[in-house]
Amino acid sequence: MQNDTPKCGLLEKSQGEFFDDLSIDAYFWYVQDWKHDHYTHSHQRYQLTYVEQGYQYFHLNNKTYLVPQHHVIWIPSHTEHRISSESQTVHLRVALFKQVPQDDFFQQVHVFPAPPVLKEMLLYANKWNQVMDEKPEQVLFIQAIVRNLPEFCLENENLHIPVPSNPRLLTVCDYIHTHVHLNFKTDDLAAIAQLSTRSLQRLFKRETGINIQKYTQLIRILKSIELHDTQRYTLSEIAHLVGYNSLTAFTSSYHNIMKKKIKKTK
């Protein structure tokens, strides 16, 4: 059954499939604390999403992308995706484009911190929020944003979480996610997967492109972002909750992954 309520300006023809009969080439969509459906969907338009507050996970193909506060994600046309978040408040600003420049950049997924100039441009664009008739200034402004995205993009590859297809490796990943606070060893994970330690390391690297130690570090830091977002814990408490023995080790690991220092909470 078709849902007659617009979602980002598009009508949902059937669950996850959107009908796009808009003549406008590009537009902005922002609703404060707007909740997106959690099921997989796709649409013809290219999508730029800016996380103004909170954090958001985007699940695409065999990867999960964390988009923290003040970061953006670029999603190519017709790319199936779903989103999830445990953040209490999530504010998203979305720009949707029917056509983009002929550049390989626009055919790939990108996650990167929004530089100050891009943040200001997206905030200024709020004057055209949900405006569905093209105005000359609006057209020029949108073109300026999309044409400069490759220059704005200083991508952090560590925000991409690879998802293996092998059931044994998925069991290991699930264990890491749910026991991130523990000091487990690779031998322990191999026993869970019913593989030798060497076989586990080889298969994991082949399917994900990173080793188990790097994957564990990545999951711990991403979990720390979730805890930090709640504003309920000190940095020392967060470090302990994600499996670090010291605040120094945690902050060093966070900087290594996020390329910036973590802000104090209390």
Query: Would you list the DSSP string of 170-193?
Result: HHHHHHHHHTTTS---HHHHHHHH
Which CATH class name applies to 164-258?
mainly alpha
In contact, 93 and 54? CB cutoff 8 Å: no
Backbone angles phi, psi at 16, to 5 degrees: 90, -5
Separation of alpha carbons 66 and 56, rounded Å: 6
What pLDDT is recorded for position 214?
Answer: 93
Separation of alpha carbons 229 and 68, rounded Å: 10
What pLDDT is recorded for position 34?
Answer: 66
Percentage of the chain beyond pLDDT 90 is 58
Banded pLDDT at 1 (limits 50, 70, 90): very low
Fold of the 3-159 domain: Jelly Rolls (2.60.120)
CATH 1.10.10.60 occupies which residues in the chain? 164-258
pLDDT digits (tens, 9 = 90+) for 58-74: 998 888 898 988 899 99
Separation of alpha carbons 49 and 63, rounded Å: 17
What pLDDT is recorded for position 171?
Answer: 94
Q: Give the chain's radius of gyration (CA, Å).
A: 20
Separation of alpha carbons 56 and 69, rounded Å: 8
CATH 2.60.120.280 occupies which residues in the chain? 3-159
Tell me: pLDDT of 14 over 80.
no
What is the arithmetic mean of pLDDT over 158-169? 88
